[in-house]
């Protein structure tokens, strides 16, 4: 069984917090902006057993194969939690209790939580909400 400290270290080195914003789309039948959250860890293809342990640790999420055709890169697997409920109930409380160490990931998690707070209580995001979210999002992954 993996320890919380191991998960924190793995996330500091190989993890990420992502926010994706989708505009209204007549094609998809949506009238409002939609926000998706993702926490993931990406590892080389031969590290799949470790990602399976991570999935067992969190008791949620999925693992996806990622083909990489770039020179000097290998295929890999990605453990990902994208359910809004699991992000709120599992990921955010875990990383609030078990603090990240790297400044980059720590900052990304802080911004991830701020974006979640803006969007969480809104039934439908307004343009000004999306603009605030985009400002926070632009500061992520620096």
String of DSSP letters for 13-57: HHEEEEEEEE--BTTTTB-S-EEEEEEEEEEEGGGHHHHHHHHHH
Q: Is pLDDT above 90 for 99? A: yes
Domain of residue 98, residue span: 4-138
At 124-141, the pLDDT tens digits run 788 888 999 999 999 999
The pTM is what? 0.91
Confidence (pLDDT) at 111? 98
pLDDT at 121 over 80: no
What CATH number does residue 121 fall under?
A: 3.10.28.10
Total count of domains within the chain: 1
Q: Tell me the pLDDT tens digit for each residue of 27-75.
A: 878 888 889 999 999 999 999 999 999 999 999 999 999 988 888 888 8
């Amino acid at each position: 069984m993996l320890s919380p400290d191991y998960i924190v270290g793995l996330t500091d080195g190989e993890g990420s917090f992502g926010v994706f914003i989708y505009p209204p789309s007549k094609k998809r039948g949506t009238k409002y902006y939609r926000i998706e959250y993702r926490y993931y860890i990406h590892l080389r293809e031969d590290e799949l057993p470790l990602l399976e342990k991570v999935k067992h640790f969190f008791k949620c999420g999925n693992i996806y194969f990622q083909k990489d055709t770039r020179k000097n890169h290998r295929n890999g697997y990605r453990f990902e939690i994208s359910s809004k409920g699991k992000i709120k109930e599992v990921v955010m409380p875990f990383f609030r209790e078990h603090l990240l160490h790297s400044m980059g990931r720590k900052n990304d998690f802080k911004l991830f939580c701020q974006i979640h707070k803006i969007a969480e209580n809104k039934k439908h995001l307004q343009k000004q909400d999306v603009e605030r979210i985009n400002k926070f999002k632009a500061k992520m992954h620096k």
